[in-house]
Amino acid sequence: MSDAQTITINGYHLEFEAGETILEVARRNSIDIPTLCHLKGTTPTGACRICVVEVEGARSLLTACATPASAGMVVQTESPKVVEARKLILQLMLSSGNHNCAVRGSDDSDWTRFQLQVHGDDGSDELCPVWGDCRLQDLAYRYQVSGESFAGTETRYPMETVNPFIVRDFSRCIQCGRCVQACNEVQVNNAINFGYRGPDSKIIAAGDRPLKDSDCVFCGECVQVCPVGALVEKDVRYDIRQWNTEKVRTTCSYCGVGCQLNLHVQDNKIVKVTGVEEAEPNHGSLCVKGRFGFNFVGSDERLQAPLIKENGKFRAASWDEALDLVADKLKGIRDTHGGDALGVLTSARVSNEENYIANKFTRAVLKTNNIDHCARL
Ligand code: SF4
Ligand code: SF4
Ligand code: SF4
Ligand code: FES
């Protein structure tokens, strides 16, 4: 192992490739360095500083996510100085905004006043909607800190609830910028960015308009990457808790890309969908249909049986009756007018095998080459 390619992290001598950050080398070697703002595959911003590490000879702590590994570097990821810095960062985050989960300790009267205020702002008597599924809360437990060390700051911006799929709760935003990175660098939708300055800072769409009046396409990428409760699916806010849901992996049926999904199922009902981050082809990204278009699965309005129209009205029929009717009609048209009087349109929402069968049926049975597919458009 040549020294030119070696870094030492927590006493382990580790090889690295040019361009790798300290964080990447650490993670590749199963050394845990906590992150909040870091979003894999995007430009590091160094916004949160929770990933700071101590590097021998450096004048200050360095962010592991933004600092390239260099030969001979000696790094400590959990030294007393590092832990102290992380505690301070977490305390500051927890004491700004409505972080009313179990980690926000204070004297009893203040706690009550604080909770009442949060409940008022939130319109709910419960703790945060992402309680138990929050990176900030996890880290607060890990480093044993609460939000009581600093006076809480007032919530500056009201919650944005007018959007069809997403609630934006600025009172729980820690300004990590992951949503901005996800929107601009992963999805390349460029719908949101940092706005205003200093304590007025806020993630905004152009003109500080609600997402529904912006370039947002409601892909929900920002919701998936938000480490806290600032961006939450609107339909199920407060209705689901992570420990009550089960994840079921599947393939999206909306188009032929084949995005990998996790269906979050509670009481045998799909309540939320997320992309599978470690799987091709989508690596966690989804479009609006894949992420939010799942209510039809459990809808009462779904057809339960084939319908046949008689005298202008539909009636339920058995599959045998419906298929016999369709077969008779198709055969009648083919035999009377020839196969080219028929045409078949297939769909990207069925499998390749089903499309292949449709192709065979059209050419071999209906005797026409009139077949097309929506994905060709
Ligand atoms: S966003 Fe996280 S840290 Fe803040 S209240 Fe909710 S669970 Fe707690
Ligand atoms: S939903 Fe998609 S397009 Fe809209 S702000 Fe979030 S990442 Fe950007
Ligand atoms: S909305 Fe979420 S992802 Fe975006 S900056 Fe705030 S905390 Fe970070
Ligand atoms: S994770 Fe490195 S600065 Fe935020």
Q: What is the pLDDT of residues 109-132, one digit of tens each?
A: 777 778 888 888 888 888 899 999
> Rounded CA gap, 194 and 211, in Å?
14
Q: What is the pLDDT of residue 3?
A: 47
Q: Is 228 in the pocket of ligand 4 (CB under 6 A)?
A: no
State which amino acid sits at residue 203. Answer: I
Residue 105: pLDDT band with limits 50, 70, 90 = low
From the list 87, 58, 63, the residue with the least C-alpha distance to 74 is 58
Name every protein residue with a CB atom under 6 angstroms from any ligand 2 atom. Answer: 182-183, 187, 189, 191-192, 211, 216-222
- Please name the residue whose Cα sits nearest to atom 7 of ligand 1: 131
Q: What is the pLDDT of residue 353?
A: 92
- Please name the residue whose Cα sits nearest to atom 1 of ligand 4: 35
Residue 123 near residue 131, CB atoms below 8 Å:
no
Tokens representing residue 312 in the block: 């202008």
Residue 44 near residue 65, CB atoms below 8 Å:
yes
> Rounded CA gap, 99 and 225, in Å?
18
Whether residue 107 has pLDDT greater than 70: no
Which atom of ligand 1 is least distant from the CA of 136? 3
Q: What is the pLDDT of residue 82?
A: 98
Q: Is 75 in the pocket of ligand 3 (CB under 6 A)?
A: no
CA of 177 to the centre of ligand 3 (A): 5
Q: What percent of the chain has pLDDT over 90?
A: 81
3-state SS of 301-360 is CCCCCCEEEECCEEEECCHHHHHHHHHHHHHHHHHHHCHHHCCEEECCCCCHHHHHHHHH
Residue 41 near residue 221, CB atoms below 8 Å:
no
Residue 97 vs residue 264, higher pLDDT: 264
Q: What is the pLDDT of residues 165-201, one digit of tens each?
A: 999 999 999 999 999 999 999 999 999 999 999 889 9
Tell me if residue 99 falls in helix, strand or coil.
Answer: coil
Q: Is 48 in the pocket of ligand 4 (CB under 6 A)?
A: yes
